[in-house]
Amino acid sequence: MTTRNLIGQRIDVLDKGWIELQDIMGDDLAIVNAARASFLGESKGPEKDKKLLFYLMEHRHTTPFEMVEFKFRVRAPLVTWWQWVRHRTASYNSQSGRYSPFAEGDFYVPAEWRLQAADNKQASEGVLTGPQGEQLTADLVAHYARGFELYEQALSQGVAREMARLFLPGFAVYYTWIVKTDAHNLMHFLHLRMAQEAQYEIRVYAQAIFEHFFKPTLPWTAEAFERFVLNPR
């Protein structure tokens, strides 16, 4: 599959989420040529080009990696977005609940209930199993149904969408966003959000980006990123 053929490809994530590549600017060679701009040089063949790119990654010469850009369309629950937008180097534009009404199924239902880690205040460890987990899921679905019922009731009474949405369960509602970022800042995002200590609901999006879009678009960069950043010796 060529890089251009990736545009428009959509990968399912979580229960109702997805991530779609909308556009790409640049490739591995664009990074190499940007690095050689100081000398008014361009490609010197695959072997030397790849060697230079690996040198850039190893020694943290980051500017050339900013010459490649990715634009994604993403559907994710708000619990994911709260963490994603902390990466302020990306550009974002979001669906608005003031303009577009929500649908009945626009809520995240986790496949399992993770337990609080005993030695980490911000992490989970292990899974709740058996009837307790099943009951929590049933309670959550009922909570969503009641909240959506109140939301629709408010709309039917003429309440503005911007206020009616107060009835919706906040962290669970799905939103659709456009995200644009360069390869350097995307790698920073991936490094943090693919880590095992990252929350599952954002980790799966980061992994989908890396495996399905980043690696096919920038194979040399991805290889160097894995060697020098993700798995340094």
pLDDT of residue 59: 96
Q: How far apart are the first and last CA of the chain?
A: 32
The whole domain housing 124 covers: 113-172
pLDDT of residue 100: 86
Is position 227 annotated as part of the catalytic site?
no
- Please indicate, yes or no, whether residues 203 and 150 belong to a single structural domain of this protein: no
pTM greater than 0.85: yes
Strands 174-182 and 69-77: antiparallel
- Please indicate, yes or no, whether residues 13 and 91 belong to a single structural domain of this protein: yes
What DSSP string runs through 16-83?
TEEEEEEEEE--HHHHHHHHGGGGT-----HHHHHHHHHHHHHTT--GGGGG-EEEEEEEEEHHHHHH
- Please indicate, yes or no, whether residues 164 and 67 belong to a single structural domain of this protein: no
pLDDT of residue 41: 66
Read off the pLDDT of residues 26-78 as tens digits, 9 standing for 90 and up: 999 999 999 998 665 678 899 999 999 999 999 999 999 999 999 999 999 99
Take residue 18 and report the two structure tokens written for it: 């997805």
How far is the C-alpha of 226 from the C-alpha of 124, rounded, in Å? Answer: 25
- Please indicate, yes or no, whether residues 179 and 161 belong to a single structural domain of this protein: no
Catalytic residue, candidates 75, 165, 193, 203: 193
Helices (H) and strands (E) in the chain, counts: 10, 7
Count of domains observed in the chain: 2
Residues with pLDDT less than 50, the chain: 1
- Please indicate, yes or no, whether residues 139 and 27 belong to a single structural domain of this protein: no
The alpha carbons of the chain give a radius of gyration, in whole angstroms, of 21
